[in-house]
Amino acid sequence: MSDQGGSEPIIQYCGIHKAFDVPVLRGVDLSVGEGEMFALFGPSGTGKSVLLKTTMGLIQPDQGDVRVAGESVFYGGPKALSAIRKLAGYVFQNAALFDSLNVLDNVLMGLPEDELYALSRSEAARKAWNALELVNLDPELVFAKLPAELSGGMKKRVGIARAIVGRPRILLWDEPTTGLDPVNTAAVERLIMRLSRELETTSLIVTHDIEGGLAMCDRVAMLEGGRIRFSGSPSQFRASPDPVVQAFVDRAAAEAQLDLAGEPSGVS
């Protein structure tokens, strides 16, 4: 598939197959254009996060390849993979902060090793400071804290700061609003849009928050049954005559209503 909305493709999934006892991905072809904000939807367990992890070589597909900025993730060798990992920042669903490191050191892990060693401690801390400010955290307040001392929302922001501190060209977001209440969800969505704009990155967002994804992104795709069921603009997605897409949109809308009616599951 090469419908990356006119711009040059920066991420290309080519025939990705992956099974964990049962097949999860059954030949995924998808392209994300440079500078795009792209949302990937799909019911739970359809392999959205698995697909996202293949982008960084964290999960090896059984068949197929991923190309990032023209380099092959799985056949390009260690140097190509290392270059790809410098190019992209990954925001994990539950932040995945390192328990034993404080916030400053967690954020500094986001700098490539060679860059980190070339900087003085104060220069490196300045970069971490800027990244934390970009995600609306007070660096002075959180620098010395351990992840266990942070709220869920703060952890998420530190995870984002770690992903952006190296100024990546690509940001990969794995369920960035999962577990957040509506207020924090909206705040994180605004943050994603602002960071993508200010840092001029390509964003690929895996989410089940359809409304948020449609509002933020230039293009969306839906993964269903291990394949891309739909790929196009948000307006095309809403108007899709495909009954599977429509059923998914209706079900997601109903779930959103239930979430709003219930207690916020949020974090501060």
Contacts of 215 (CB under 8 A, 6+ apart): 189, 234
When the beta carbons of 115 and 133 are compared against other proteins, the nearer one is 115
Which of 40/97 has CB closer to other proteins?
A: 97
The Cα–Cα gap between 253 and 238 comes to 12
Distance in angstroms (rounded) separating the CA atoms of residues 226 and 192: 27
| Inter-axis angle of helices 152-164 and 182-199, nearest 10 | 10
How far is Cα of residue 13 from the mean position of the Cα atoms in its chain? Answer: 15
Region at 5 (left for phi over 0; alpha for psi -120 to 50; beta for the rest): left
Please give the residues from 4 up to 33 whose contact with other proteins meets the rule CB under 8 A. Answer: none
Reduced to 3 states, what is the DSSP secondary structure of residue 21? coil
- Which lies closer to other proteins via its Cβ, residue 16 or residue 52? 52
Nearer Cβ to other proteins, position 96 or 252? 96
The DSSP element (H or E) to which 247 belongs, if any, is helix 243-261
Min dist CB 230 to other proteins, Å, is 28
Residues 128-187 close enough to bind other proteins by CB under 8 A: 162
Binding segment for other proteins (CB under 8 A), chosen from 36-44, 97-105, 203-211, 239-247, is 97-105
Nearer to other proteins, 92 or 237 (CB): 92
Rg of the chain over Cα atoms, rounded to whole angstroms, equals: 18
Contact 99, 181 (CB under 8 A): no
109 touches other proteins by CB under 8 A: yes
Q: How far is the CB of 83 from other proteins (least distance, A)?
A: 9
Q: Cβ of residue 249: shortest distance to other proteins, in angstroms?
A: 29
Please report, as ranges, the residues that interact with other proteins according to CB under 8 A.
53, 56-58, 82, 85-86, 88, 90, 92-94, 96-99, 109-110, 112-113, 162
